[in-house]
Chain A
């Protein structure tokens, strides 16, 4: 083709314009590749907060990641390939224009985004100075940190926890901060969270999904729903809104928002009425045979009963257990040993009995089952149809549907209920969870392959004890509840004073906030509270650790550039699959970015100099698991041989040491899992089940171990007290449950205890439900700025509304609209969706504020605290959790 090119030059040279123009035509495109370099692939793990933890092969060429492909090396072929569009395009963030390059110190006003680039020494010294000062003035617990989901990175997140433990800082628990903690778990089962590994889904014959958008939010696992369906399982999706998951289901049941508990209780009623329950199961594993005193509404304890007092005294049970009483059909009142589920009684589960107490008083008692039976009587299909049927739909059909589904769920086994995060991120989310758990318990669907209830939010469960790395020389991690920080009115409220028994709060409030692995100014800025604290100076110091310039970084005083998961060694162990995996550096960290372990080590090193703690001072080199590594870097600093590369290599080595430390001290679950094995590929945890499958409560159901199984990292006694009977508990007797009428699962309408109580006007002004669901194109705010994801969304944040809603508000497809309430507003382009509930307005959360004309979807939300969540305080297990969806709003068209 050279000929024609030359010809063409001649041709164009003949014209007068050739010299100035035209020549660009021949300019070669800028070359990034010469076919000379060498190709290598490195296996790492994609690990944002979705907790998918998908193995990826990074193809590296000339020191840069060119492509990312699912590693697809999981031993079960079914798991291959794990990964999604976000993981595949991660290079857009690593090499994108928002990538952080150097440490930054703010020069403009907060939030203005004006910074100066400084050296690491300057940034770290500055942070250390400021922190030391705040710690001295307000106490170290006024420094709060947040690390988000642990399982996506035990080493570096652990390093931040390690640092916090050194000085007694507070940690905000991501699980509750995110609203991902499903409170019913602790209330019912005494655990943090349980869930099947996704491969187990295929063993179910009935999958009932209540408000979880599996096809989007569990993308790499979604196929297992399809495979289950292909193998003959029925899939039902209960959701106010038609979702991609509903599209794949055999049946979609549209219900009114947050009425799932009514629905579930109607199903429970049908099951009970028609005696479709698994009697053996409920007698053996649940509290349903236990007796409840009608006078106090508390459970009857053996030590209260005259005839049992003596035996009860002899029973040697731990202090976190109580000995309750059943009415044995042969032997009468009988104590129940809470330390085993081997059943030595044949309880009456219905009826009313009279029992003589130690003090001679005679009181009426009823088995929990009897109470339940009475309670669910209120939930007849007809009545529930009134509650759940969306406007303009046929209630009669709903009555039939309830009966039919109840029959199916009771008879088709194994049944698996998936309870979505968005569904429990409501004020009464715990009630819904308890009601749903009731269905699986009544039908005996627990502890078996394919049978159970699962929640799949961001997965916060810690897989094995990590204390050796996560705390510095045995120092305690302190926790503080995020919602108490956001909701200062509640902290001072009578309700809080009345019910709070344990939930701590720093006496001088949170004064410094250091965060990594999250973007709180977009994601957690409820009712704009965080911005308020930043602007009014309540927050004296804000430090962000990220690898890109997020909204939160813009609000920070100091931004410390960390690295992404292809630039460091890290250990991951999330929940959707039971694989422990290693992240490995495919490339050297870009610019001056540093692995987080190094950042925290450097901060620790600087802080001990300013903090009066001799033990810390003398043992600081132990911050790295191998003090020699610490010293090596210090030596290099002294003799002038320090370099970024050296520090990074040392940090890499220290990371691997931390991995080894955690594996060595992790106990049975990780026995035999070594660094060498992990370097070769993913390794399954030693779960105590056949084939090491992740089947919740397998040991309880099959080995009759009492509830609960341990939730790491807390010792068993801390959580076992939630279910003192050692059984699955549907009856809660703590005062607050009695006061609120929630001793048993009940249904309560949304907004009544929240929006309408806060402002009765809201009922009229804000008629719509504001639901912020998760987007296909982002993991929360991560990938908000991924250009490829933006293309797929037309670069537009969107607001989904039902055509009727749109019409009511004069909105047409594609209009720019504002969703708002008294607290805030957000902008997006209207999408009319026939599948939406007409009272629902959906915004897909996770857009950086820059795409929202400076607004935020979380300016509308509110940090509600439900008092049943402050009965106990075990961080991330029983503590107040966020309810993103408990928001009333209005919508209008705007011209901008």
Chain B
């Protein structure tokens, strides 16, 4: 408990510092307070939202969408990454398509996605999954290619079947890279989940933030952005916790 306390303290200090500067800037009219209200005003609004529990339903909706999309991205990204990292023919077959798809902004993909998937949950999950998929895939390919060849040769000499090799040698050895990719993918997924909710508004944090922005309820908008940031921090903390268990040698 004491250790986590000393770990959290510096972060808290920098948060307080940033908030103090922001507050003073607002108090002394250095910034336009209509567009950027001081934290104290946002905090009051935020307290209203938290106290009444109105944040729970939208937050749950956003989390669910993120979870489904991200799980799909991890599953497909890692599986395809291993296949592409191990097999040159598969790599050559899929690389052009993937590299052509990757730089296309998700916003530009919206018209065809609307056309084929409608504007319900399927479309939103697809956008989230697509966004998180590419970093995971690329990191997995690179991780798999970096696996020690001697280890593989040894395993093969001893007649280790491919499936076993994947789970016993390739996956563990490329795990650090995969996890780095998963982390980047999670970050992107978190951004895109909010964007997806902004596209087809049916609730969730993204819809609320956009809604507040449209109705010029600036304080409420920032309050929801704070909730989003806290949600992001929480997700990252959970990820780090799991990461520390999965790759103990990394958490020095």
Tell me if chain B binds chain A.
Answer: no
